[in-house]
Every structure is written in structure tokens, then in C-alpha cells.
Amino acid sequence: MNSIFSKTKEIQISMDGFIDQVEKAALIFLEGLKAYINDKKERFEEYSAELTELESSADNLRRDVKYKLYAFMLIPEARGDVLGVLETLDDVIDLTEKVLEHFSIESPVIPDFLKEDFLELTELSFKAMEQLSKAARAFFTELKLVNNYVNKVHFYEHEADKVEKILKQKIFNSDKIEELAIKFHLRYFTEKIALVSDESEKVAERLAIYAIKRRI
């Protein structure tokens, strides 16, 4: 094992805990939107509240790792990269929390004929975020595996883009949705779900660059 924290076990445990939160956020995002799309609104609200609580917990972990990096002068040669990973991963968690919050506040009505596409888009964004968390864990433990996971993030983001386009076409070409405002509303939430895969890809690309720097 090629651990960046081989002499700093305490901070590695904190970092592992933070990445655990990323993985859990991805799962709550997935299950929360599945509940919403399947009209299980009460269950959805439970997931939304859970993700809000997790986002706060992840912020605390991020601050804890940041404090330890500076207070104990740990890994100064890689500190900037570690902080970059932390901040951008935290941004993705924040995004998942905001997506569920927007669904909770605005309550878009998803027609039955679009539900399968919304579920597929949600699944693909989840998978992109899931592979991102694996790439992040590999960055701190098994550097050679980072690109394997990054490539999977790229794949799922690309698939999400395709489903996003198809979904938008269905929304605007459908005679089943008469009001243009409703079409705009559904397009907005399509983009919000897809944004999770987009942001996961951006963070994955940064991880790939950090990994190259560490190998030089």
C-alpha cells in the first residue's frame, strides 16, 4: 500500500471518514430521488433531512482534517493537493444536498412517461459520484488505481449527458405537457440531477492531475 499518510494514522482515519461521507451522500441522493420519483414523498423528506445532517457532519470532518494538516505541519509537499481534494469533494456533497432541497421546496410534478428517464439519469449521476469517491480513496491509498476510477467517472458522466439530452427532448416534444412553464421546470430539474455527474467529473479530473504530480 502506497499511503500518503503512512506516518500520520490519525489524519488518515479522518480522511477515510470524510470519503465515507461522500459515498453515503451519493447513496442518500440516489435513494432520495428514487423515493421522490416514485411518489413516496414522506420517505423522500426523510432522505432530504438525512442528507442535510450528513452535509453538516462532512463539513466538520473537512475542517478537522484541514486543522490537523496545518497545526501539525503534516505532508507540506502535498498539503495543497489534499486540501483541493477535500474542498471539491465537499462541494459535491453540498450539491447533492441542494438538489434534494430544491425538489423539496419546488415539488416538481414528474409525469409517468418521464419517470423511467429521470430514474436512469439519477442512477448515472449516482454512479459517477460513487466512482469519484473510489478515485479519492485510491489517491490516498493506492495511487495506481486512480485513473481506473477516473475513467469510470468519465463514462458515467458521458452516459448521463446522453440521457439528459433525451429527457429534455421528450419534455419539449411532448403533447402531454401543455404548459411551457412546466416544461421549463422539468428541464431545470433534469439539469440539476445531471449536474452531480458533471461536478463529479470535474473533481475526478483534478484528482487525475494531483495523481500525476505525486508520481513525478
Per-residue HEC secondary structure of 119-134 comes to HHHHHHHHHHHHHHHH
Confidence of residue 3 (pLDDT cuts 50, 70, 90): low
Is residue 56 situated within a structural domain?
A: yes
Is residue 68 situated within a structural domain?
A: yes
Which of 102, 107, 123 is closest to 26 using CA atoms?
123
Confidence of residue 77 (pLDDT cuts 50, 70, 90): low
Q: What is the pLDDT of residue 170?
A: 97
Q: What is the pLDDT of residue 78?
A: 65
Is residue 45 situated within a structural domain?
A: yes
Structural domain count of the chain: 1
What residues have CB less than 8 Å from 101, skipping those under 6 apart?
Answer: 48, 52
What secondary structure does DSSP assign to 7-59, as a single string?
Answer: T-HHHHHHHHHHHHHHHHHHHHHHHHHHHHHTT-HHHHHHHHHHHHHHHHHHH
Locate 213 and state its grid cell. Answer: 504530480
Can you give the CATH number for the domain in which 133 is found?
1.20.58.220
Is residue 1 situated within a structural domain?
A: no
Is residue 37 situated within a structural domain?
A: yes
Is residue 48 situated within a structural domain?
A: yes
Is residue 3 situated within a structural domain?
A: no
Q: What is the C-alpha to C-alpha distance for residues 44 and 101, in angstroms, rounded to an integer? A: 10
pLDDT at 216 exceeding the cut of 70:
no
DSSP code of residue 160: H
Q: Which range of residues forms the domain containing residue 118?
A: 9-215
Is residue 59 situated within a structural domain?
A: yes
Tell me: the pLDDT tens digits for 121-134? 999 999 999 999 99
